[in-house]
Amino acid sequence: MSLDAPTYDAALAPPAPPASHAARNRLVIALLLVSTFVVILNETIMSVALPHLMADLGITASAAQWLTTAFMLTMGVVIPVTGFLLQRLNTRPVFVLAMTLFSAGTLISAIAPGFAVLIVGRIVQASGTAIMMPLLMTTVMNLVPPETRGRTMGNISIVISVAPAIGPTISGLILSVLDWRWMFLLVLPIAIGALALGAARIQNVTTPRKAPLDVISVVLAAIGFGGFVYGLSGLGEAAAGGESATAWTTLVVGAVVIALFVLRQLALQKADRALLDLRTLASKSFTVAILLMVVSMMALFGAMILLPIYLQNVLGLTTLETGLLLLPGGLVMGLCSPIVGRLYDRYGPTPLVLPGSAIVSLVLWGLTLIDATTPFYLLLIAHLTLSVGLALLFTPLFSTSLGSLPPQLYSHGSAMIGTVQQVAGAAGTALFVAIMTARTASLATGGSAPLDALAGGIGAAFLCGAIISLFAIVAAFFIRRPAGTPGMAHGH
């Protein structure tokens, strides 16, 4: 099947559901949204806690970032398999699998005796989270007609932005009065409750079909994406005076294995046996949206790891103060998301992604100017503005990318988006920490005071993000509403 011609676009709309199905569909989407909220909350709950854990567990910044990086990396490795799972299994068993893994990982993290077991817990948690995100996206694409998809994607964006917003704040509140283990102990009953409710109430809304699992592809994905991000992370430690040869070797090996993974998918998809069907990339709208998402995720996750380190280690704020400072940005993103969704349904993506990418870039350029004396309220304004820019990007990118695919590729498209998001986020985190560590070490060697050196290192990392963000502005000019989608012409 070729996606070069635009003829498939007219047939994208799922048929309008009968009244009895409409109520069922709303319940399924609501349960998936609530459960996704819980799992995403735990993805970001660690960001404020990293400096705290560095002191408590006696680990470096490069090691601590693995609590976030290992989570994202596991998602990047597991998500390609979800394309297979979503085709092969029904909605309820996939949901139960996801929430069981997440709950088990939360329990392991809560009782972890040290850093190594905590990493294992985070990896198990991430395996559940990895399945949850594409399940939500694919279900929405199958159940919601195109003319109201922007609104539904806006609701998804609320979940995706408010959960990260309150994650650091909850983390700060917990750490101000309790041990770090309570970050997991408090989430555990909510996760188990969501699992029980979903198992009882979620109905199967998709039709499974026989899909083969290519084990070689799974192994290639794990080695390729794992090696690539591990290599990037190793460059951070090498910058602080560690061994750089190993980091470069793993980076190159990772890149080569990713290339082999891509070649294998191209060969397998001719017989409809690919783990991750790359025919999704034959759609220009999908490919450009994916590229823009890569830049956005690198900026978002890089900022999410650098800002707490800056606020706590340079400005001397507590974990609670840091959490409260980062809360308004996420809430603003949540408030903007439904408005952005409605604007997308009416006007399409271009009037949203162009200003969105420009705002993100401007904020990152502004953050390159921070030093050891920058007032905290300027960081608050920067984070609020960055959140508005990202809100203008995410809903249109989700809607445009998946909306430009035929229904049989929705599960692969959702898996592709999830994989790219997580690997880009992990790469962004590793890259920003590597630059921060290298520049801080260089300034400290040159005689700068420790706080000035760290502030200079963080500013240098933001400079890297600012340069990358310029590519997002260029990509934004090429984002188009999928052809044949109703809504814009009629002003819905």
Domains of the chain, with CATH numbers?
19-476 (1.20.1250.20)
d(CA 255, CA 69): 18
Could you tell me the two tokens for 411?
A: 């599960």
HEC string of the chain?
CCCCCHHHHHHCCCCCCCHHHHHHHHHHHHHHHHHHHHHHHHHHCCCCCHHHHHHHHCCCHHHHCHHHHHHHHHHHHHHHHHHHHHHHCCHHHHHHHHHHHHHHHHHHHHCCCCHHHHHHHHHHHHHHHHHHHHHHHHHHHHHCCHHHHHHHHHHHHHHHHHHHHHHHHHHHHHHHHCCCCHHHHCCHHHHHHHHHHHHHHCCCCCCCCCCCCCHHHHHHHHHHHHHHHHHHHHHHHHHCCCCHHHHHHHHHHHHHHHHHHHHHHHHHHHHCCCCCCHHHHHCHHHHHHHHHHHHHHHHHHHHHHHHHHHHHHHCCCCHHHHHHHHHHHHHHHHHHHHHHHHHHHHHCCHHHHHHHHHHHHHHHHHHCCCCCCCCHHHHHHHHHHHHHHHHHHHHHHHHHHHHCCCHHHHHHHHHHHHHHHHHHHHHHHHHHHHHHHHHHHHHHHCCCCHHHHHHHHHHHHHHHHHHHHHHHHHHHCCCCCCCCCCCCCCCC
Spell out the per-residue pLDDT of the chain, length 492, in tens.
Answer: 334 333 333 334 444 455 556 777 788 888 888 888 888 887 777 767 777 788 888 887 777 877 877 887 787 778 778 877 887 888 789 899 999 999 999 999 999 888 889 999 999 999 998 888 888 888 888 788 877 778 888 888 777 767 766 777 788 788 888 888 888 998 899 889 889 988 887 777 666 777 677 889 888 988 887 788 777 767 656 655 556 777 788 889 999 999 999 999 899 888 878 888 888 888 888 999 998 888 888 877 787 788 888 998 899 888 778 878 888 888 888 888 889 988 998 888 989 999 999 999 999 999 999 888 889 899 999 999 998 998 898 888 888 888 888 888 888 888 888 778 777 877 787 788 888 888 888 898 888 888 899 999 999 999 988 998 898 899 899 888 876 554 443 333
Question: Residue 88: what residue type?
Answer: R
116: which residues sit within 8 A by CB, 6+ positions away? none
Burial label, 180 (beta-carbon count in 10 A; 0-12, 13-18, 19+): buried
For residues 31 and 29, give the distance between their C-alpha atoms in angstroms, rounded to a whole number.
6
Contact between 253 and 220 under an 8 Å Cβ cutoff? The reply is no
Decide: pTM greater than 0.85.
no
The CA-atom distances, in angstroms, between 390 and each of 248, 349, 361, 439, 482 are 32, 13, 10, 27, 21
Query: Exposed e or buried b for every residue in 265-297, given b needs 16+ CB within 10 A?
Result: beebbeeebbbbbebbeebebbbbbbbbbbbbb
